[in-house]
Structure 1
Amino acid sequence: MTRNSAPTRERIIAAASKLFYGEGIGRVSMDAVAEKAGVTKRTLYYHFRSKDDLVAAYLYGRDQPNLSLFQRWFDETEGGLAEKVRGIFIHLAGSARHPKWRGCGFLRTTAELAHMPGHPAIKVGAAHKKRFESWIRGMIEGEGVRDGLPLARQIMLLLDGSFAVTLLHRDPSYMEAAGDAAVTLLRTALRQQRSTEAPARPRRAKEG
């Protein structure tokens, strides 16, 4: 790829992202993407061989920014691990109150492509979710929990479940409720961890 072609590719992805997220991938044609990006269809197909490739690039472009946003919300929330995780849900609830919010782009795309399990976009979405899971697992194990994978997966289920239910009811309070449930899970796990690590009290010798 030449130096001059990179901005064109980025402009196409930006246009596709707005259209795919706002309307869904099935309703957006390559003609519509080309028009919004201000390029010819020939130029569009020069950069992306097919719509499938463009959809995968759309999700790939959301991967790191989304993870960075979650990490920033986590870092900026005061308190311990449980409170910081809840901070992610609280911020998501705030985002869901925006009129242009359409849920999780990764989950929505996967739902549209459920009949095509080998689609490259599904692989991108799965990798994104695994990266979030690995990151939250690292945060949990950093607090002394020996195996944070089961707990990280429970947090993932709460997160993605809240995306789905909030989108269905258009009620962000479901995300806040999921955040409260995450707090309960994490606090319980941390208490159990500390109780197993607490040294046993020495028995008093019997008198007499």
Structure 2
Amino acid sequence: MTEPTPPRPRRGRGARERILKAATELFMAQGITATGTDQLARAAGVSKRTLYVYFSSKDELVQAYLGSLEHDRLPASASPSPAPSDARELLLAVFDPKPPRAAGPYRGCPFLNAGVEVPDPEHPAHRLAAAHKREFAHRLTELARQAGAASPQTLGEQLALLYDGAAARGVALDSGQTSACARSIAEVLIDTALTRRAPDAAAAGADTPQAAA
């Protein structure tokens, strides 16, 4: 059986998008360090020279790849004045299974993977991964506050750690089903935090002049 002929290198319109698409598919499927520029150029249908026209180095391409995933991988923002139940549902939605983006083994969180594959904390890709994780926890904290959690920052950090733990375990087990277990744990954490807040809110209301009247 003959192998399919790789696409002829071309630099034309859309080359940057093809390169970034190829990088996303390959980095997600086999990792950053295992993917070379020759393979990237072949998959994108461009020459290596063209690849370097759009991305001066592999590091720059890695940063663009992570940047392209940033929005979709962050928890959704609630409306300015959401109902507490809506914020609770957004917290739980973080643990809903994500559709696979590439064939092959389960790869978990691309930002965790980047942090492991590029261990230098001063490397731009590592800094980008760390910034994403901080923003991830911050978004969860804001949702926890809107849901009425007793200690929003604590709950936000707990849920962020739970999310990362489920992703890492999923990679080890080659299974995306760890998110279902994580969601059930998240539900307990969230409802416990909300229950602790309820008596405090009731007590505060009893102390107001309106309540006393």
Say yes or no: TM over 0.5. Answer: yes
**Cα RMSD (Å):** 2.8
- Alignment match, 2:194: 190
Kindly tell me the number of residue pairs found equivalent between the two proteins.
190
Letter paired with 2:94? I
In the TM superposition, what is the alpha-carbon distance from 1:47 to its structure 2 partner?
1.6
Distance 2:112 2:154 in 1: 21
Match of 1:88 among 71, 75, 94: 94
Deviation string, structure 1 residues 32-70 (Cα, Å, up to 9, x no partner): 111111111111111212111111111111111223xx4
Distance 1:41 1:177 in 2: 44
Identify which range, 167-176 or 41-50, moves more after superposition.
167-176
Distance 1:31 1:142 in 2: 48
In the TM superposition, what is the alpha-carbon distance from 1:166 to its structure 2 partner?
1.4
Distance 1:178 1:170 in 2: 16
- Alignment match, 2:118: 113
| Compared CA separation, residues 110 and 81, structure 1 to 2 (3 A) | same
Distance 1:90 1:143 in 2: 18
Greater fraction helix: 1
- Alignment match, 2:55: 48
Distance 1:171 1:9 in 2: 32
8 Å CA contact 2:111, 2:129 repeated in 1: yes
8 Å CA contact 2:108, 2:176 repeated in 1: no
8 Å CA contact 2:76, 2:90 repeated in 1: no
Letter paired with 2:64? A
TM-score (structure 1 length as normaliser): 0.79
8 Å CA contact 1:17, 1:58 repeated in 2: yes
8 Å CA contact 1:82, 1:182 repeated in 2: no
Letter paired with 2:141? R
- Alignment match, 1:14: 21
Deviation string, structure 1 residues 168-205 (Cα, Å, up to 9, x no partner): 11344432221111111111111111111113879xxx
SS at 1:162's partner residue?
helix
TM-score (structure 2 length as normaliser): 0.77
- Alignment match, 1:161: 165
8 Å CA contact 1:25, 1:112 repeated in 2: yes
Q: Percent identity?
A: 33
Matches within 5 A, 1:92-107: 92=98, 95=99, 100=104, 101-107=106-112
Distance 2:114 2:73 in 1: 15
- Alignment match, 1:199: 203
Provide structure 2 residue ranges, at least 5 long, that are not aligned to the other structure: 1-10, 80-84, 208-213
